[in-house]
Amino acid sequence: MGKTRDLFKKIRDSKGTFHAKMGLIKDRNGMDLTEAEDIKKRWQEYTEELYKKDLHDPDNHDGVITDLEPDILECEVKWALESITTNKASGGDRIPVELFQILKDDAVKVLHSICQQIWKTQQWPQDWKRAVFIPIPKKGNAKECSNCRTIALSSHTSKVMLKILQARLQQYMNRELPDVQAGFRKGRGTRDQIANIRWIMERAREFQKSIYFCFIDYAKAFDCVDHNKLWKILKEMGIPDHLICLLRNLYAGQEATVRTGHGTTDWFPIGKGVRQGCILSPCLFNLYAEYIMRNAGLEEIKIAGRNINNLRYADDTTLIAESEEQLKSLLMKVKVESEKVGLKLNTQKTKIMVSSPITSWEIDGETVETVSDFILGGSKITADGDCSHEIKRRLLLGRKVMTNLDSIFKSRDITLPTKVRLVKAMVFPVVMYGCESWTVKKAESQRIDAFELWCWRRLLRVPWTARRSNQSILKEISPGISLEGMMLKLKLQYFGHLMRRVDSLEKTLMLGGIEGKRRRG
């Protein structure tokens, strides 16, 4: 495992790809800041404002809970410690997780004692409530603080307790969350949501029905969660008071600092939003989003005998309706309920897509754009349901990766079998992403084959002008299973995965129909 990690690290280093670095930034008036102290102050000002608690929202604290859940066992601590990913940057305490894993049973006993004390008193060490934020620029203007995402470095020791708490919460999460929510759930992923959208479109086209989609984008959804509303929602969803008290005390008195190349800011309080980089945050946000959808009381459409009105992947929500009026009604209800709990729709990034043409329309005076295609979970979905656009896009992305690796493939120090394995490990997965739900026509099949041969010819440094047959290229490479064969294998594995699941949403959409009449022929 270590050798594999070293190999891929060397490949990344030698690729020479551009990585945006945090340099100069602008102040709130758009003026460039050049001095290190000014840059640090601006980052502190921005993050303090982003996570500032609403003054009109007082804390509702019930004190220490005496009716406790069952005690933490040593085996839970051992499991949590073993499941923490290694080779990760440590938090403010600078203690790497590998240290605990080397100490084994001694570490388990010490950590069990600490976790059990927290479990009984519901009080967390202040160091465990602290996080170091590191801003990473997104695409676009890297000088704007708002155009950066932050990763958080937190104490590895705290992750042991958080893992145990997550496991205790999981049974309640699974009970409350419907299968339309696929984000951060065991056995579910982006491929499921991509497949669901494609299958709904296929059924709509097959039965001559117009289906309307609204892809909702929230403005900084995870950073705008109201803590007091979150505890109220957890209570309503049947989470035990003891677990809620542990979470509430974890969130109370949070502090963070921002670290850039210009230094580290002072510590500042965090008053809202789920914790950055915390393993509990996706679960808590899923319950928050579920509360919004329940309260919206949305109308539903019948697909394969099931009533469906939305598909979700964490904060990425897709509303589904049978008419323009119904979609407007759904969107307004979701907007109102979202604002009640502190979430705001980003109307500039919220898009409408439908198989039949419609004019753009407004929500509260703001125009919502209608589009013919949309990137959902990294895959392009088109209004006509055709997969050819996404296949072409994936092949172009594969070419880009192949070109970036040119310096590796030109090296005479790397053997041909190793180069072939690198193509299969780093290029082909980019092309195959989301292929489980593709409908591949003859023209697309030929494109896929042509791309594979282009990769092998580039690997062997054989130009197209050279009079070499495809068969001779394949014989020299000996790739085994072809790219198209690998795609077919993934499709069959996914089909088997769905067929073995009882009453899953994906299985229902794949096999079921929709109300309407098929065309002749």
Are 317 and 310 a contacting pair, CB within 8 Å? yes
36 pLDDT above the threshold of 90: no
On the question of pLDDT at 197 being above 70, the answer is yes
pLDDT tier, 62 (very low <50, low <70, confident <90, very high otherwise) = low
Angle (deg, nearest 10), helices 156-176 and 241-251: 140
* Domain extents in the chain: 21-175+228-273, 190-220+287-382, 388-490
For range 432-449, the mean pLDDT: 95
Q: Would you list the DSSP string of 440-489?
A: --HHHHHHHHHHHHHHHHHHHT--TTS---HHHHHHHH--SS-HHHHHHH
Tokens found for residue 482: 């072809």
More confident call, 98 vs 233: 233
Mean pLDDT score of the chain, rounded to an integer? 87
Q: pTM of this prediction? A: 0.87
Q: Please give the average per-residue pLDDT across 461-474, as a whole number.
A: 88
Instruction: Please give the residue that has the higher pLDDT: either 92 or 52.
Output: 52
Has residue 477 got a pLDDT over 70?
Answer: yes
Q: Residue 148's pLDDT is what?
A: 85
Contact assessment for residue 438 and residue 387, using Cβ atoms and an 8 Å cutoff: yes
Instruction: Show the tokens assigned to 379.
Output: 């895959």
pLDDT at position 410 is 86
Highest mean pLDDT among 13-17, 96-100, 415-419: 415-419
Specify whether the CB–CB gap between 434 and 390 falls below 8 A. yes
Q: Are 477 and 454 in contact (CB under 8 A)?
A: no
Rounded to whole angstroms, the Cα distance separating 491 from 485 reads 10
Q: pLDDT tens-digit profile of 113-145?
A: 999 999 999 999 999 999 999 988 887 777 888
Q: Which amino acid is at 363?
A: I
CA distance 169 to 189: 20
Q: Above 80 in pLDDT, residue 5?
A: no
CB 40 within 8 A of CB 264: yes
pLDDT above 60: residue 297: yes
Q: What is the CA radius of gyration of the chain?
A: 26
List, for residues 482-493, the tens digit of each pLDDT value. Answer: 999 999 999 999
The Cα–Cα gap between 3 and 10 comes to: 11
The yes-or-no verdict on residue 434 having pLDDT over 90 is yes
How does residue 366 score in pLDDT terms, banded at 50, 70 and 90?
Answer: confident
Distances (CA, A) of 460 to 157, 314, 482: 49, 44, 17
End-to-end Cα separation, the chain, in angstroms: 55
Classify residue 142 by its DSSP letter. Answer: T
Q: Which pLDDT belongs to residue 149?
A: 85
- Percent of the chain at pLDDT above 90? 51
Strands (E), 322-396: 351-354, 361-363, 366-370, 373-376, 379-382
Cα 332 from Cα 354, distance rounded (Å): 18
Q: Which amino acid is at 422?
A: L
Integer Cα distance of 347 and 399 in angstroms? 34
Measured from the Cβ of residue 104, the count of other Cβ atoms closer than 10 Å reads: 12
Q: Answer whether 161's CB lies under 8 Å from 113's CB.
A: no
Cβ-based neighbours of 1, under 8 Å, separated by 6 or more: none
Distance CA 15, CA 6 (A): 14
The class (CATH top level) of 190-220+287-382 is alpha beta
The structure tokens listed for 340 are 């009640």
Q: Using pLDDT thresholds of 50, 70 and 90, give the confidence band for residue 511.
A: confident
pLDDT band, very low/low/confident/very high, at 202 (cuts 50, 70, 90): confident
Q: Please, which residues bridge with residue 134 across strands?
A: 151
Q: Which residue has the higher pLDDT, 36 or 24?
A: 36
